[in-house]
Structure 1
Amino acid sequence: DGSLLLGWTEFYACSGVDHGPARLSGKISNDGGRTWNKKYTLVENDGGRNVMEVNFLRLMNGNIALFYCQKNTESTDCRVMMRTSADEGKTWRDAKQLSPSNKYTGLTNGRAIRLRSGRILLEAWEGGFAYCIISDDDGKTWRDSQRIKPADGECYENACIELKDGRVMMLMRTGLGGQFKSISTDGGETWSDPELTQLTGSAAPVSISRVPKTGDLLAVWTHNPGSTKRNPLTSALSKDEGETWSNFRNIEEAAEDAWAYPAVTWTGNDALLTYFNYKGGLSLKIKKIPVEWFYQ
């Protein structure tokens, strides 16, 4: 019906530390993201620590898939879970587990994609390696892709996008100076050796999307080369499918503040950007940015 569903990790008993108690909450917008209805619970906290990292994807049968993490310990048991909704996110069916119980497997907000072939790629990471959880039957069954990491270190929260020629590009968070890139020529099954991109900055994840109006790629990430601070929050454009980046612009910048974990949803020619603001404890922010702003 054109409405928007927003989902986020709501820390309800602390200031937002990674392992604090949290549920998944939602809101609906009927006016393109300008205003939002009353908050409601998507998934109550059924983990030993919390539930977090919301990803939505429309399935071919019209249902909505919700992917998230069920965190049971701080470092040894974090599970990727999937639920589906047949009533536009009002209620959710029982969860299906997509990763092992004895490993710490993570996701990132707003990252699940469907390729033109119909294949679903759910970006995940575990043990310093990035990979995708793959489904070719609209979420009924799943398998893991090849796992990769940079030669000189580990990688974490990743993001994928299908390129115009059918290849898939993965960008991944590292502590090695910025976002690393890997390319798949077989729909996310196998990946090239990761290499550093122009998207330099602190150890925090990137959001990658395609600009509907121009077909260019938009990256949003924390861009502060040589620093561990998550400041500023920056956008950049690629007009050659991720080979080079230009039009660097700061979306947020302040000396004593921090922002991270961006996700972009396009509504017409506007980018709806969600991200965390760290000042005074974690808080969710939403900013509506016209496409022209990124090109100025």
Structure 2
Amino acid sequence: MSNVPMTRPEEALAIHETRYFHSSTFTELEDGRILHAAGTNFNTSDDGGITWSESFSHTDTAGNPVGGGGTSLVRLAGPGIGLAGMQRPTEGSSESIRRETHLAFWRSEDGGETWEPPIRITPPGIATYAYQDVLLRTSSGRIILPVYIAIGQASGPDDVKPPASGKLVKGQWVSTAAHFFDPRFSASCVYYSDDDGQTWQRNQDGELIILMDWNASFSYTNEPTVTEVSPGRLLMFMRNGLGRVFQAWSEDNGETWTRPQPTSLASSTAPAQIRTLPNGHLLAVWNQETEDEIKRGYNRTRVSAAISRNGGSVWEFFQNVESMHEETRVEPGPIRPVRPAEYNFDPGLPAPEREQEHILPFDFHGRWSYPSVLVMKDRVLITHTYSYYEEHPTRAEMILSSQKEGGFNQKLKVLPLTWFYGGKEPADNPVLARIYDQGNPNA
């Protein structure tokens, strides 16, 4: 285990400890300030993320709070900005709430000072959700919002209905849950707007699911994120439970997509972010863990960053944004379901057979995931969740650091662009340029 939680921490321009968990999103305003939103909270920075204003909230012109779960900000034309967020019914049965969760879009024409009432993006029916910080404005002006639908029985984020995954830390059981046993299926899709968010359409070719052995069986995708690699050519990353980040491509600005395929990036069951840098290179930020680490309950213990200088084929400059491990790059395993090996059923049921080599005691356990990413000219802002277990001072129980008085549940890191290139100035890779130059027979 590493005593250094990130690669070259001395290069960070600022590190903030906050309580915004996994709801942060950012955009640059017309006057150069950064606007940050998290749920229904807002604040601003006028020095590139080094310092921040106090938190404040907004109501729209109808008097309702602006924002919700899975918030995403985007620049509109001129000084305008838009915000997407999930809306849930405040009353009703669990079934109606699951069926009525939808995405809404707020517009501001004055840089976030005043807000119009929201426009519903997704129609009634199957519940629709979104990962935070995923709105994209493409070079054509089209706004892309990747979302996912979910069907199945009611479930909770902590696997509260067994089987429940976890492990022993200082002799006490703690959770390693990440929806490993949820009885539901999800699939990704895209909504897009060509009029600055006033009306929305859905991609033409349906939901994106993973075909296992083509159509022999299927696996889910959710919490998608999208970037524009070149004009009209979009790349989507998707969460799943198969040990890899999966990707899909669109050649028509988000209207149709290829079938999801695995990348070379090892991943636990957690979402990623993908961004295009000012120089055209791609930046990925995600939870990178091996199959063995996940089985030992180390899922969500390494937030990684990597650069692609050839449009997403080859990934380089692997760095640890936050990690319990020394390694900055791990090889992906076989494409198959993977979850922690230690789990339990209800009392009275037979104990499950488990993989003995992965059932180990630990003295420390933390988790960090759900990155948000703002790319600026000379720096990148990254937030991720942060918490760890520690012993209660007087009771025989483990408590999360984020639940203590004065605790925090998120880190915001302001990193120079050079950090993502091993501490050096960004440059193209001449070897990759020769290899992928199809017009050069001597490459």
The normalised TM-score by structure 2 is 0.60
Aligned equivalent of 1:284 = 410
CA contact (8 A) 2:272 2:370 kept: yes
Structure 2: tracts of 5 or more residues without a match: 1-30, 151-185, 212-217, 325-363, 389-400, 403-407, 423-443
Aligned equivalent of 1:251 = 321
Distance 2:54 2:74 in 1: 22
Distance 2:231 2:142 in 1: 16
The 1:42/1:284 distance shift into structure 2, 3 A limit, reads farther
2:211 is aligned with 1:181: no
**Higher helix residue share:** 2
CA contact (8 A) 1:234 1:252 kept: yes
- TM-superposition CA deviations, 1:228-259 (whole Å, max 9, x none): 61110001111111112122111101362111
- TM-superposition CA deviations, 1:28-77 (whole Å, max 9, x none): 11111111111111469x79xx9311111111143111101113356333
Secondary structure of 1:188 counterpart: coil
Secondary structure of 1:181 counterpart: strand
Q: In structure 2, which of residues 119, 141, 147 is the aligned counterpart of residue 124 of structure 1? A: 147
- Comparing both chains, which one has the higher relative contact order based on Cα–Cα distances under 8 Å and sequence gaps of 6 or more? 2
CA contact (8 A) 2:229 2:276 kept: no
Aligned equivalent of 1:41 = 57
CA contact (8 A) 1:57 1:65 kept: yes
Aligned equivalent of 2:42 = 26
Following TM superposition, the consecutive aligned residue runs of length 4 or more in structure 1 with deviations greater than 6 angstroms are none
Distance 1:116 1:37 in 2: 31
Aligned equivalent of 2:35 = 5
How many residue pairs get matched? Answer: 279
The residue identity in structure 2 corresponding to 1:138 is D
The residue identity in structure 1 corresponding to 2:75 is R
Aligned equivalent of 1:219 = 284
The 1:157/1:132 distance shift into structure 2, 3 A limit, reads same
Higher Cα Rg, which structure: 2
Distance 2:59 2:373 in 1: 22
- TM-superposition CA deviations, 1:249-293 (whole Å, max 9, x none): 111013621111111112321101122213334723210111111
2:192 is aligned with 1:134: yes
Report the alpha carbon displacement of residue 192 of structure 1 after superposing the two structures with TM: 0.7
Task: Calculate percent identity across the aligned residue pairs.
Answer: 31
Q: In structure 2, which of residues 109, 117, 134 is the aligned counterpart of residue 94 of structure 1? A: 117
Report the alpha carbon displacement of residue 165 of structure 1 after superposing the two structures with TM: 5.7
Distance 2:269 2:302 in 1: 12
The normalised TM-score by structure 1 is 0.88
**Higher strand residue share:** 1
Q: CA RMSD in A?
A: 2.1
Distance 1:249 1:86 in 2: 38
Aligned equivalent of 1:51 = 68
Distance 1:285 1:96 in 2: 32
Q: In structure 2, which of residues 201, 204, 209 is the aligned counterpart of residue 149 of structure 1? A: 209
